[in-house]
Structure 1
Amino acid sequence: MALLNIRDLTVEFPTRRKVFKAVNAACLTVEPGEIHGLVGESGAGKSTIGAAVMGLLERPGHITGGTIAYREDEISGLDDEAMRKLRGRKISMIFQDPLTSLNPLFTIRQQLTETIIANLKVGKVDADARALALLQRVDIPDPETRLDQYPHQFSGGMRQRVVIALALCSEPEVIIADEPTTALDVAVQAQILELIRDLAVERQVGVILITHDMGVIADTTDRVTVMYDGSVVESGPTAQVLGQPEHDYTKSLIAAVPRPNRKVHRFPQVSYGGRMTSFAIEEIAKGWPVREAPEGALVSVAGVTKRFAEKGGLLPWQRRHFKAVDDVSFDIVPGEVFGVVGESGSGKSTIARVISGLYRADGGNIYFDGRLVSEPSDKEAIRAFRQDIQMIFQDPYSSLNPRMRVDDIVAEPIKHHGLLSGHAAKLRVGELLEQVGLGADAAAKYPHEFSGGQRQRISIARALATQPKFLICDEPTSALDVSIQAQILNILKDLQEHLGLTMLFISHDLPVVRQMCDRVAVMKQGRIVELQETEALFSDAKENYTRELLSLMPRMSDVSDEVQLPDY
């Protein structure tokens, strides 16, 4: 008997203009002990199915057809009170963004024990012991200390592990995992996926794994359902769907996955449905200033250290700090794409924020174009540096002001640096939006009116507004599906090749790093443990830690050699 049976599910969202059909007659079953993958582009309806099962559809969205049954009981028509009794106890959900699932005002202990007591009806002592065991199971280091800390004291990857522990508190029979490994590096991702597999085997838990990572699907799932534009286009055993895909969209998705075993010049884009997008690199290049490349390094990081307070105190000896970045040094030469990889909490994003000036280093120096920029005394050098360096963040939505229109967002750096004003600035914004494939009409809209990939294009337009020399890309595609990822990575490749842009590229996606970077630094616990040219690193890593990271990459092992992929 299936744990979850979804039949002809249709979900609609009425708007002022029309009724938007987010899910159209979708069918899906989950058996005990089965991991069922759900893949497709952003907006395909994957997360909507998960929300419908949990009774968490955002209004005015509602189910207009079909049924959802838990075991043999239909649950799609239950009222709020009945769903609250089911939700968490029998069916649990792991959300993509851990910050939306954790209360910033309560410690991890309070959140875990409260959930355990509410669902399992145990005492405080037993709940404390279970909470500690859960943190150990999801591999949180020093769990006794971490239990009494707050969510903001955890890295993104560790917060996601806490969210997974929270979902396991009630010992559910069905888990809906909505992009559970998006923010995780390969090492932690492997641990979490192993944990999900163990739960399925040992406790016969049924899992719906919603993800855009085809490697995760290949490595983890038993069955897979592919969605496009709200409808199911293909479904079946994972080996069959990935090894011998029948639908053109499935073939196109598989082709867009970065290959870990070889380097390609460009990423194939998903062409099904006419969704190829244009990017006018030639137009951008026409107006780009011709600069002489400096001799030697464009960016030099020399012995940089950054500490954060771990424990406060009135007196100095009562305070405790940890080193997020510990004596890190490297050079980035003009026109190079320099990659930084490592586990969650290894210091990757911290070093990026120190270089950009968002954090101030506690030790060491940073030089840009031969000038010291880590000390605020040289105001002229700092101002020029801030114009010449721009950053593309991991989450395009949180890096864009939701109350500002797109034209104001893109124009902000132009006006701040006094490059253009008035009508000239407006024309420049329109040109940038056209060049990144959004069109000038996008200027009057707000960030929430765009998809994730389109929002990342807005971030790229804003980053190009000052015509920088140096671009910092901090996990720029981790929240995007493979089709949108291919578009964004091709844009970044074009920028580097045609404009000679120098880049610092931070990612936990090792196949993407292999395709994008010229050299790669591997970080562990705040230090660089290995630095090599990319191909040398992937083919002959020197350090055990690097070899371990490479061995944990999800691989498309189920893809048959008979699948006709585009010619790279």
Structure 2
Amino acid sequence: MTDLLQISGLDVDFPTRRGTVHAARGVSLTVQPGEVVGLVGESGAGKSTIGNAIIDLLEAPGRVSAGSILFEGEELRGRSEAEMRRVRGDRIGMIFQDPQTSLNPLMTIGAQLVETIEKTSDLRGSRAEERAIELLEQVGITEAKARLRAYPHQFSGGMRQRVVIALALAGDPDLIIADEPTTALDVSIQAQILDLIKRLCRERDLGVIIVTHDIGVIANIADRVAVMYRGEVVETGDVAQILGAPKHEYTKSLIAAVPRADRKLERFSSVDYIEGGNKPFERIDIQTHWLGASRDNRGTGKAIEVENLDLSFVLQKAVLKRNRKMLQAVDNVSFTVTEGQTFGLVGESGSGKSTVARLIAGLYRPDAGTIRVLGQDVSTRPNSAAAREARRALQMIFQDPYSSLNARMRVMDIVAEPIRFYRLTENEAETRRIVGDLLNHVGLGAQAALRYPHEFSGGQRQRISIARALASRPRILICDEPTSALDVSVQATILNLLKDLQQELGLTMLFISHDLPVVRQMCDQIAVMRHGQLCEVADAETLFKTPRHEYSRHLLELMPSMELLGEA
């Protein structure tokens, strides 16, 4: 069979003032029509670089310095920008990793879909809009016609990712490069998307390169797998051979880092590799450090109390109330989190779990209900001195480490901002010392304070977010999908770090995730949400072994099968 895509001896370089960075070296890869090829590796391994090189979207000053890229027998290297624009979208579709930056925030979802459809097909006007609605329904977005008028910020992270997938399918391409296509998706929508990709593959002889950190996705969808490490392909072969009986030591350790869904372990298995090439940095002694000064004051009472919480969003505005379309994002939600506990919120994208987290953090105001943090009512009297102090004791680690950090600020000022805002130190010299200690403690090193966020990998940025959250000496951390954008090895490191910090500082954590194996390993109690309501609240082991609610059982059945991985 003729190869749809053939990459041979590909080298990608990034010249810098300090020398040339070799992002990819000697990479060879083939994709046949109707085949799904998985590309796995750690953050910074070069896997996304390969996808960008194929469609000539390398960020400056990156360049392909050697090798060949044959697509349908035609060489793509050396083509002009005008020629590549005719290839992108129409013949090769791309699903980018970060839906937040892939969508124009000033255009409605419908306008962006219709624009893409009109540029890559003969459909115009109402026919293009009908196709846009069809694409949204294909990727699992309900009320697709009404959602055409919504803007990206009105969608959850998972829903934005579905829109990006719909955009990639709009041009009816022959090859799709999917860079972490299920990163922000829960297990039910992930299953829909993977089934859709597999069906398109078979029906249209569509070739797919799927770049992912999720070994479960690879096990369920890929025909062949290529494993990348520091810019090189170290192992390639059929999915059953690579995942069931890996030969390379790096592949073995990568697979061992996959969170277990069948039993709970004390710690996540880490890849025997130091993220970003950094040496280990000296961790501070929490018992004697400024950060742990208030640890002894932490008890076993109620950290978070949520009672009868309601919140609605307006989907369609109208003068008359009866003509408005409303979305009940949170519907009569009640639960309690005990101090020192890790409480998990799970559910599909749009179920309301992140909305609940933002309500507790004070980023949204509830329509009804009560929120108490460390015994203080922060919903009905949010501006009282006691409520402000409770807010200081609660910090949030956001889902996206790329957009949650100010790109114009150095890491020093990002981490120091809470310390300065709450006036927690006597002078600037003490603030800088504490920031350096925090950066050492999360494994980045004090020298990271002088750099900007864009100079770090995704996992390293999430460490910066954790350091910033710790800077106000919190008692509660809200972790909203803190590792969803990270590969499995970096995820293990970050989750182990959170476990260590919880033990050292006596932290309470509200942990939001769609990744059920991760939730099982991290949480003491779990609440399952659907359509803004709580379906079930149970101890973690009870939920996984004997779920009571039908929807909980449905979610557990949809977890990607890991049978190919054998026993860890």
TM-score (norm 1): 0.95
What's 1:366 paired with?
Answer: 371
Distance in 1, matches of 2:551 and 2:304, equals: 26
Q: How does 1:116-155 map to 2 (within 5 A)?
A: 116-155=117-156
Distance 1:317 1:121 in 2: 39
Equivalent runs, 1:275-294 vs 2, <5 Å = 278=280, 283-287=285-289, 288=292, 289-294=294-299
1:535 corresponds to which residue? 541
Distance 1:108 1:377, change over 3 A: closer
- Between the aligned partners of 2:271 and 2:345, the Cα distance in structure 1 is 28
Alignment match, 2:254: 253
Partner of 2:434: 428
- Give the % identical residues: 56
Does residue 351 of the first structure (1) align with residue 352 of the second (2)?
no
1:186 corresponds to:
187
Which amino acid in the other structure matches residue 11 of structure 1?
V
Amino acid across the alignment from 1:22 = A
| Deviation of the 1:243 alpha carbon | 0.8
Equivalence map 1:136-215=2 (5 Å): 136-215=137-216
Q: Report Cα offsets for 1:301-334 as digits up to 9, x if no partner.
A: 1111112222223454454432211111000111
Determine helix, strand or coil for the equivalent of 1:419. coil
Deviation at 1:277, TM superposition (A): 6.5
Which residue does the alignment assign to 1:42?
43
Measure the CA separation in 2 of the matches of 1:393 and 1:278. Answer: 25
For structure 1, which segment, 373-382 or 464-473, has the greater mean C-alpha deviation from structure 2 after superposition?
Answer: 373-382
Q: Hey, what's the Cα distance between the residues in 1 that align with 2:399 and 2:460?
A: 14
Query: How far 1:149 moved relative to its partner?
Result: 2.9
In structure 1, runs of 5+ residues without a counterpart are none
Structure 1 counterpart of 2:327:
322
1:56-75 equivalent positions in 2, closer than 5 A = 56-75=57-76
Q: Using the alignment, how far apart are the partners of 1:272 and 1:111 within structure 2?
A: 41
Once the two structures are superposed, residues 94-133 of structure 1 have per-residue CA deviations (whole angstroms, 9 ceiling, x without a partner) of 1112233322333333322332232222343432332222
Q: Please say if residues 376 and 390 of structure 2, whose CA atoms lie closer than 8 Å, have aligned partners that are also in contact.
A: no
CA distance, structure 2, for counterparts of residue 447 and residue 408 of structure 1: 11
Separation in 1, partners of 2:168, 2:295: 54
Partner residue in 2 for 1:393: 398
Aligned mate of 1:307, from 306, 312, 317 = 312
Note the C-alpha offset of 1:358. Answer: 1.3
Q: CA deviation at 1:232?
A: 0.5
CA distance in 2 between partners of 1:173 and 1:507 (Å)? 33
Tell me the distance in 1 between the aligned counterparts of 2:278 and 2:188: 33
Instruction: Give the superposition deviation at 1:481.
Output: 0.9
- After superposing the two structures, state which structure 1 stretch, 144-153 or 361-370, moved more: 144-153
For residues 236-257 of structure 1, the C-alpha deviation after alignment (integer angstroms, 9 at most, x for no partner) is 0010011111111100100111
SS of 2:295 mapped into structure 1:
coil
Larger deviation, residues 477-486 vs 104-113: 104-113
Distance in 2 between residues matched to 1:351 and 1:125, nearest whole Å? 37
Q: How far apart are residue 369 of structure 1 and its match?
A: 2.2
Deviation at 1:397, TM superposition (A): 2.4
- Amino acid across the alignment from 2:44: G
* Residues in 1 aligned to 2:325 and 2:127: alpha-carbon distance in whole angstroms: 31
Greater CA deviation, 456-465 or 62-71?
456-465
Flag the 1:454–1:108 CA change in 2: closer, same or farther, 3 A.
Answer: closer
Residue of structure 2 in register with 1:447 after alignment: 453
**2:500 is equivalent to residue 494 of structure 1:** yes
Alignment match, 1:409: 414
The amino acid of 1:369's aligned partner reads L
Partner of 2:531: 525
CA contact (8 A) 1:219 1:557 kept: no
Q: How far apart in 2 are the matches of 1:391 and 1:106? A: 29
1:477 counterpart residue number: 483
Residue by residue over 1:325-378, the C-alpha shift from the partner in whole angstroms, topping out at 9 and shown as x without a partner, is: 111100011110000000111111111111111111111111122221212366
CA–CA distance in 2 between the matches of 1:374 and 1:277?
44
Q: Output the amino acid matched with 2:391.
A: R
- Aligned AA for 2:204? R
Alignment pair present for 1:503 and 2:512:
no
Aligned position for 1:264: 265
Question: Against the structure 1 CA distance between its residues 91 and 72, is the aligned structure 2 distance closer, same or farther, given a 3 Å change threshold?
Answer: same
- Superposed displacement of residue 34, structure 1: 0.3
Q: For the Cα contact (< 8 Å) 1:157–1:184, is it kept in 2?
A: yes
In 2: Cα distance, 1:229 partner to 1:348 partner: 36
Deviations 1:150-182 (CA, angstroms, capped at 9, x unpaired): 323322212211211111112111110111110
| Alpha carbons 1:304, 1:327 under 8 Å: kept | yes
Distance 1:104 1:407 in 2: 29
Q: Structure 1 counterpart of 2:102, which letter?
A: S
Residue equivalent to 2:389: 384
Cα distance in structure 2, aligned partners of 1:515 and 1:542: 20
Gaps of 5+ in 2: none
Find the residue that maps to 2:413 and give its secondary structure: helix
Distance 1:233 1:72, change over 3 A: same
Which amino acid letter does the alignment assign opposite residue 548 of structure 2? K
> How far does the alpha carbon of each residue in 1:442-478 deviate from its partner, in whole angstroms, 9 at most, with x for none?
1111111111111111111111112211111111111
CA offsets 1:28-76 (integer angstroms, 9 cap, x no match):
0001110000000111111111111111111211111000001211112
Moved more, 283-292 or 210-219: 283-292
Residue 546 of structure 1: CA displacement? 0.7
* Structure-2 change in CA distance of 1:378 and 1:48 (3 Å): closer
Query: SS state of the match for residue 29, structure 1?
Result: strand
Classify 1:220/1:458 alpha carbon distance in 2 versus 1 (closer, same or farther; 3 Å). Answer: same
Amino acid at match of 2:190: Q
Distance 1:107 1:459 in 2: 30
Question: Which residue number in structure 2 is paired with residue 555 of structure 1?
Answer: 561
**Does the 8 A contact of 1:283 with 1:435 survive in 2?**
no
Question: CA distance change for structure 1 residues 501 and 280 in 2, over 3 Å: closer, same or farther?
Answer: farther
Whole-angstrom CA distance in 1 between matches of 2:64 and 2:383: 61
Q: Which amino acid aligns with 2:198?
A: R
Cα RMSD, aligned residues only:
1.8
TM-fit CA distance, 1:144: 2.2
Contact 1:281–1:495 (CA under 8 A) maintained in structure 2: no
Superposition pairs of residues 215-226 of structure 1, within 5 angstroms? 215-226=216-227
**Superposed CA offset, 1:249-269 (max 9, x none):** 100100111011111001111
Separation of aligned partners in 2, 1:178 and 1:193: 13
Whether the 8 Å CA contact 1:225–1:236 is kept in 2: the answer is yes
SS in structure 2 of the partner of residue 284 of structure 1: coil
CA distance in structure 2 between the partners assigned to 1:423 and 1:556 by the alignment: 51
For 2:295 and 2:63, the matched residues in 1 are separated by 55
SS at match of 1:385: helix
SS in 2 for 1:286: coil
